[in-house]
Each structure stands twice: as structure tokens, then as C-alpha cells.
């Protein structure tokens, strides 16, 4: 009967809700119409009711509000300093690095040298992840 629309943008669905509120359509009927057009996974009935309440309270914004994120302490300079410390002494522990860089947690340090610097632990030495199969067999 209707052509379904796959993967709609969130703001598109909210705009439709706002339009149907202006036409005085009830929230349950709005949800039914959304499911008919966008499919089962579009939005729950509770979320439709939440957006209906927000639009009835005077909200006109259909876009997500900007969220404040925690600023990252990891930058390129810090990664370079950590890399320098690792190259000075390959037989280090996370605790030894943590004592050098007090402003960073142990977890973040571990993430820096495993994800950003691509180091892996091999026989109690941290090495770059660049070994070939020949190197590994030796």
C-alpha cells in the first residue's frame, strides 16, 4: 500500500512528528503512521510521546542538541614524549611510565602505546608491530 523509506534521518522523523502534531494527530496514531512508512525500527511509542511532549511544550528544534564532551589529554606532543620514553628503555612497565606521566591514567597510557603507537609486548620487551614471519621465527 505505502512505499517504505529505509534508514531515515532522526531529524526527518522528528519533523514528521512535528507536522502531525500541528494537524492535531494523537501520539499513538503518529507512531502507527511512522511504522507504516519507515518500518518497525523507526522509533518506539514512548519516544514518539516524548517528542510530542517536547513540541507541545514549545520546542521547535528537530536536531540533536550538542553534547559537551570531555576534552582529551592525548595529543601528538604527548604521544611523541611517550614514544621517546619507550625507546629509551624498552623494558618498562606501565607503572614506570605512569610515574613519568602523572597527568595520564594507566589505561590511557596503555591505549597510547597499543593503539596510537602500535606496540605489542614480546618476551618482556615492547616492540613496534612491524615484524615479519621470519623475524618472529628467530
* Cα(32)–Cα(19) distance, integer angstroms: 15
Q: Show pLDDT as tens, one digit a residue, over the chain (138 residues).
A: 678 888 888 899 999 999 999 999 999 999 999 999 998 889 999 999 999 999 999 988 888 777 667 767 788 888 898 888 888 887 777 888 888 888 888 888 888 878 888 877 655 566 666 667 777 777
CATH fold for domain 10-57: Arc Repressor Mutant, subunit A (1.10.10)
Instruction: Work out the end-to-end distance of the chain between its first and last CA atoms, rounded to an integer number of angstroms.
Output: 68
Amino acid at each position: 500500500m505505502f512505499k517504505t523509506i529505509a534508514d531515515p534521518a532522526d531529524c526527518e522523523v522528528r519533523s514528521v512528528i512535528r507536522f502531525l502534531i500541528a494537524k492535531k494527530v494523537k501520539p499513538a496514531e503518529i507512531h502507527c503512521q511512522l511504522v507504516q512508512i519507515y518500518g518497525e525500527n523507526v522509533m518506539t511509542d514512548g519516544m514518539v510521546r516524548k517528542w510530542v511532549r517536547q513540541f507541545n511544550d514549545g520546542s521547535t528544534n528537530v536536531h540533536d542538541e550538542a553534547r559537551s564532551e570531555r576534552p582529551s589529554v592525548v595529543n601528538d606532543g604527548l604521544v611523541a614524549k611517550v614514544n621517546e620514553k619507550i625507546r629509551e628503555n624498552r623494558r618498562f612497565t606501565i607503572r614506570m611510565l605512569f610515574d613519568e606521566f602523572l597527568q595520564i591514567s594507566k589505561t590511557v597510557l596503555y591505549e597510547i602505546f597499543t593503539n596510537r603507537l602500535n606496540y605489542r609486548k614480546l618476551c618482556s620487551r615492547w616492540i613496534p608491530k612491524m615484524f615479519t614471519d621470519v623475524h618472529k621465527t628467530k
